[in-house]
Amino acid sequence: MPLKRRSTMPDTKTNNDNVEYTNLEAGEHEGRLVYVADLGLQEREYMGETKPPAQQLSLGIEIIGQTVSIDNKDVPRILWTKPFNIFYTLTEKGNEMKYYSVFDFNAAEGGVADWDAVLGKPCNVVVKHTKGKGENSNRVYDNISSLTPIPLKYQEGVAPALTTNMAVGDADDENNAASSALFGLAKFVFDKRITVMKPQLAVIEGSKSDEDDDFEDDIPF
């Protein structure tokens, strides 16, 4: 199902006790894009100033050759990217362009990312370890530090994903495969999405580049 873009057209933690989790080795891994989760419209503030809400996505990357045990069943190991803002078209300064170009080498400014078309595509994933905070201070989390492209001539050498229900999500459908797979920061952001708002408040592409200000790296769940 194509991604529902919520901005307007321009005019001119996994803490489940039943999960047996061993941290990945920090560093580079092979992965495949299996989920694109629509996190809905999110309230924003930048340097103390309230900004118009922006739609956000998070990408679910299956780490090839790695599984995690849930309820004594081995399932694909999936990590989520830090949520990022999206707008109606790709922009050079936007994080959607940065991520989408990992999977589509022809991505260009002004185009519209076709996330359905790149589901299952491979990528290199750099994983870093982050220590938890507060009541989770004894935990170490695997976070995606970066995604980078795999040259076409090497992509056939990447093993297939184990995930069979790859999907582009819809924030209005909590039961879609992508939304159902969310956890950690991506799930936290999804749960605080704006569900009722005035249509004229939706972000219009073309505002300043602070639209893609990053989340804190050190908010693991």
Read off the pLDDT of residues 106-140 as tens digits, 9 standing for 90 and up: 999 999 999 999 999 999 999 999 988 888 888 89
- Stretch among 38-42, 113-117, 139-143 having the lowest mean pLDDT: 139-143
Whether 81 is in a domain gets the answer yes
User: Within a domain: residue 58?
Assistant: yes
C-alpha radius of gyration, the chain, whole number: 17
Neighbours of 98 (CB within 10 A): 16
Total domains present in the chain: 1
Both structure tokens of 5: 């873009």
DSSP state of 9: P
Token representation of residue 19: 């999960």
Overall average pLDDT of the 45-58 stretch: 91
Domain enclosing residue 184, as ranges: 19-203
Is 13 contained in some domain? no
Whether the CB-CB separation of 170 and 55 falls below 8 Å is answered with no
pLDDT greater than 50 at residue 209? no
Is residue 33 in a domain?
yes
Q: Are 44 and 106 in contact (CB under 8 A)?
A: no
- Residue 197, in any domain of the structure: yes
Residue 4 in domain: no
Predicted model pTM? 0.82
Q: Is residue 209 part of a domain?
A: no
| Calpha distance 131→117 (Å, rounded) | 35
161-200 pLDDT tens trace: 999 999 999 999 999 999 999 999 999 999 999 987 555 4
- Does residue 171 fall inside a structural domain? yes
